[in-house]
Structure 1
Amino acid sequence: MGFRPRMSMLVLTLFEMFFSLGATTKNATFDQNYYVTWGQNRILFFKHEQEVQLSLDQSSGAGFGSRSYYESGFFQMRIKLPDKDSGGVVTAFYLHSNVGIHDELDFEFLGNRPGKPIVLQTNVFAHGLGGREQRIRLWFDPSEDFHYYKLLWNQHQIVFFVDNMPIRVYKNRVVHGVAGYPHRPMQVLVSLWDGSNWATDGGKTKANWTQAPFQAHFQDFNINGCRSNPHSPNKDCYSTKYWWNNRNYLQLNSHQMRELAAVRRKYMTYDYCTDKNRLYYPLAMGFRPRMSMLVLTLFEMFFSLGATTKNATFDQNYYVTWGQNRILFFKHGQEVQLSLDQSSGAGFGSRSYYESGFFQMRIKLPDKDSGGVVTAFYLHSNVGIHDELDFEFLGNRPGKPIVLQTNVFAHGLGGREQRIRLWFDPSEDFHYYKLLWNQHQIVFFVDNMPIRVYKNRVVHGVAGYPHRPMQVLVSLWDGSNWATDGGKTKANWTQAPFQAHFQDFNINGCRSNPHSPNKDCYSTKYWWNNRNYLQLNSHQMRELAAVRRKYMTYDYCTDKNRYPIAPVECHDHEP
């Protein structure tokens, strides 16, 4: 379990000073470090933005997130939970990677009926794998007053605290063969949401909406963390210039170890490590009717409709997620420019999550020597198990073609890359990039040309099809370490800033909630779920075959070095 030298009273004193410092740092206001991510009309501010109230009713909850991402640090929040009959209600304070492979660190407070204790669940996701839940009964009523909930995260350990009491330690044991320790840049997030389908008594106890609105209160918006970028991690974040990486914080001292043991003995009600009924997969194991011309006409009408819907402005459907000072707006919010320099790129995301639909964006890529530069238009689940659908444009040197890479993540598993050379210069003018997503297929389009189909083949034994609510995201970032020539070609910063332009902010999708999916999103009342869109027609199948034959440069299905045995979905090849 690792080497733990006996720690002196001096180190104990230093650790106590550290937590005291965390609690007494000069208060930041909400707006300095955080912004509202969803449920804008269910958030109230008090005490000159030193306190925030989130509300939950049957229509929606609310949430907020940090303006920056962090790669190590000490994170805390003073929280007072809903004081009513709160069964089914979840209050969450957590860190989440959002971009790429899923890392996450969770405090989740699972509400209960009056007279029954609120349960605190902690969880750790590393390299896409979660399922590491531990639950404790708190030794006080967390709805009566504010208490601190704290996370220490460095390269050696992650420690969860309630006030100053350690309740869980997750060690970095890569040297012991454990595949994965959270290390990706993460955003700090807070939310109040309906977890009726699972949170209390395994979903038997639902939210009592006669008691709504449920209200949780939050204080202390200071963040002590090493800022980073989800697309370009900060190699300095494990430096000892940050006090939480100092040798004094590499393990608990003997006093804290006794406190932790006492909490586990007295208050722990569930530990995934002792659950013999659950099958836990270590990451190291891995996973391994012809349509008529009428349907073709309908499909063409569908894409025409997608392109000519009355234009929405950026602010109607999207908000800036990072790099605020590298975004410009043109044409009354009908066009957006993202810029990338050596310091940072930028990105934006949809205000809502969606569980099916037709998603499109008109994009004009950077027109300079763009090797190492990545422009991305994608859908991402963000919360829980990782689903994702990607368009990633991999820049190149002048005279060499920009490569379009698509990828599909389902149930936490990606690695399904396909790459094509585009048959035009995407930096010269705007082109449409479109995604159709329903319960039968996912279709990637360039303008109206299908370039990839990923079918729902669960009946053929394929483990996973993207079905979780996802946010629409766009970003421009530095992919020098992998994007062009496998990372050999780096971004040429003498050509910075690199600029990409985006138009058409309409979204045709079934709105959903990442914490409470919308069971109606596969209904045929949404036209993209109609029988006409369950598969390509014969004309489109020929177009797809021609694209694969003429322009495809890489297909994971044929990569024998990565997959000596082709993934299951490749046996019945697309489409």
Structure 2
Amino acid sequence: MSTRSRAPHGTLSRSLLLVSLVITPGVAMAQDGATGRSFVEEFDTLDRSFWYVSDGWSNGDHQNCTWSKQQLTLDNGTLQLEFAKAEAGERDYACAELQSRTRYGYGTYEVRMRAASGSGLNSAFFSYIGPVDKQPHDELDFEVLGKDSSQVQVNQYVSGRGGNEKMVPVAGGADKDFHDYAFIWEQQRLRYFVDGKLVHEVTDATKIPSHPQKIFVSLWGSDNLVGWLGPFSYAGPVSMAVDRIAYTAPGEDCRFPQSVLCEIE
């Protein structure tokens, strides 16, 4: 299921924390519009020339919270995205989202995160592009649905067409500890990994996105997506924690010891 909409904003290139500034000869070139290069973000600081903090809007009537920059903080090298009862816009709750300013193409996308606990919530790591960027809606997802945090949903959209959902077990629970999630996006193949293990593979090219996308992490809630997220229930502020986000361009070596690329290559 997709519930994306984005407020427009500018795109800037990152100058710090880039792992590779030179395109290696023989490495496959990215799609048109994919200017993002390999990086490893460990959130010692928040580089706002690279990351955009969503603030002051929601994604539609399905969402019961407003994106608020106040709900996104750093805590000893961990990004915290909080969902809390607070007056924010036309909603009774405030929630958090972080997105890259640059678009990325084929390659390896990785996150180490701990999902929030609570029915009616969605803790997500995904890539997305859509009409607000004057592009077709393409998307690649890891989403922990609040009604059952023992699983994560993987999914992708191609020009607005979804229906590719698969539920994957997360040992010990996605909200109990940090877990590693990764997808390797290629033109003819898409692979999803959880804690280094291949959990889903797509080889039908018609079900693989082709447009460069921005990278997102978000935590939000809903009162009316009961069948998907479960009945919304609020018992107090909760948070999603992100320890690391990384992107590795095609043909490049793994960039940190825990990368899925270190295991499969």
Instruction: Report the TM-score range of the alignment, normalised by the length of the smaller protein.
Output: 0.5 to 0.7
State yes or no: 1:320 paired with 2:60: no
- 2:154 is matched with 406
State yes or no: 1:507 paired with 2:247: yes
Structure 1: distance between partners of 2:215 and 2:6: 18
- 1:440 is matched with 188
Structure 2: distance between partners of 1:436 and 1:446: 12
State yes or no: 1:466 paired with 2:214: no
Q: CA deviation at 1:470?
A: 0.3
- 2:231 is matched with 490
Structure 1: distance between partners of 2:42 and 2:116: 24
Whichever residue aligns with residue 507 of structure 1, its letter is Y
Alpha-carbon contact 2:190-2:208 (below 8 Å) kept? no
Higher relative contact order (CA 8 A, sep 6+): 2
State yes or no: 1:428 paired with 2:179: no
Alpha-carbon contact 2:151-2:174 (below 8 Å) kept? no
Distance 1:350 1:191, change over 3 A: closer
SS at match of 2:97: strand
Alpha-carbon contact 1:444-1:453 (below 8 Å) kept? yes
- 1:374 is matched with 122
Alpha-carbon contact 2:150-2:171 (below 8 Å) kept? no
Whichever residue aligns with residue 473 of structure 1, its letter is F
- 1:454 is matched with 202
Distance 1:191 1:446, change over 3 A: closer
Q: CA deviation at 1:186?
A: 5.6
Whichever residue aligns with residue 454 of structure 1, its letter is V
Q: CA deviation at 1:445?
A: 0.9
State yes or no: 1:415 paired with 2:181: no
SS at match of 2:102: strand
Whichever residue aligns with residue 246 of structure 2, its letter is N
- 1:88 is matched with none
Structure 2: distance between partners of 1:479 and 1:321: 18
Alpha-carbon contact 1:317-1:505 (below 8 Å) kept? no
Q: CA deviation at 1:525?
A: 4.7
Alpha-carbon contact 1:371-1:480 (below 8 Å) kept? no
Structure 2: distance between partners of 1:403 and 1:391: 10
Q: CA deviation at 1:101?
A: 5.6
After superposition, residues 299-378 of structure 1 pair within 5 angstroms as 311=42, 313-315=45-47, 317-322=50-55, 323-331=68-76, 334-342=77-85, 343-367=93-117, 370-378=118-126
Higher helix fraction: Structure 1 or Structure 2? 1
Distance 1:310 1:372, change over 3 A: closer
Distance 1:413 1:527, change over 3 A: farther
Structure 1: distance between partners of 2:104 and 2:46: 17
The count of residues paired between Structure 1 and Structure 2 equals: 206
1:159-194 residue CA offsets vs partner (Å, 9 max, x unmatched) = xxxxxxxxxxxxxxxxxxxxxxxxxx662x3669xx
SS at match of 2:103: strand
Alpha-carbon contact 1:364-1:429 (below 8 Å) kept? yes
Structure 2: distance between partners of 1:310 and 1:500: 17
Q: CA deviation at 1:421?
A: 3.3
Distance 1:445 1:317, change over 3 A: farther
Alpha-carbon contact 2:119-2:231 (below 8 Å) kept? yes
Q: Which runs of 5+ in 1 are unaligned?
A: 1-98, 103-184, 193-305, 510-523, 529-539, 541-575
Alpha-carbon contact 1:394-1:402 (below 8 Å) kept? no
Normalising by the residue count of structure 2, what TM-score does the alignment of the two structures yield? Answer: 0.67
1:363-400 residue CA offsets vs partner (Å, 9 max, x unmatched) = 11224xx111110100001331111001110113xxx6
Structure 2: distance between partners of 1:409 and 1:385: 10
RMSD of aligned Cα (Å): 3.1
- 1:385 is matched with 136
SS at match of 2:105: strand
1:326-359 residue CA offsets vs partner (Å, 9 max, x unmatched) = 111112xx21111112412110011311011111
Q: CA deviation at 1:440?
A: 2.6
Q: From 84, 100, 106, give the equivalent of 2:2.
A: 100
SS at match of 2:162: coil
Whichever residue aligns with residue 447 of structure 1, its letter is D
SS at match of 1:429: coil
Q: CA deviation at 1:506?
A: 3.3
SS at match of 1:414: coil
- 1:38 is matched with none
After superposition, residues 22-41 of structure 1 pair within 5 angstroms as none
Structure 1: distance between partners of 2:119 and 2:107: 33
Whichever residue aligns with residue 213 of structure 2, its letter is M
Structure 2: distance between partners of 1:476 and 1:498: 10
Structure 1: distance between partners of 2:177 and 2:46: 20
Structure 2: distance between partners of 1:190 and 1:486: 30
Q: CA deviation at 1:403?
A: 3.0
Q: Percent identity?
A: 23
Normalising by the residue count of structure 1, what TM-score does the alignment of the two structures yield? Answer: 0.33
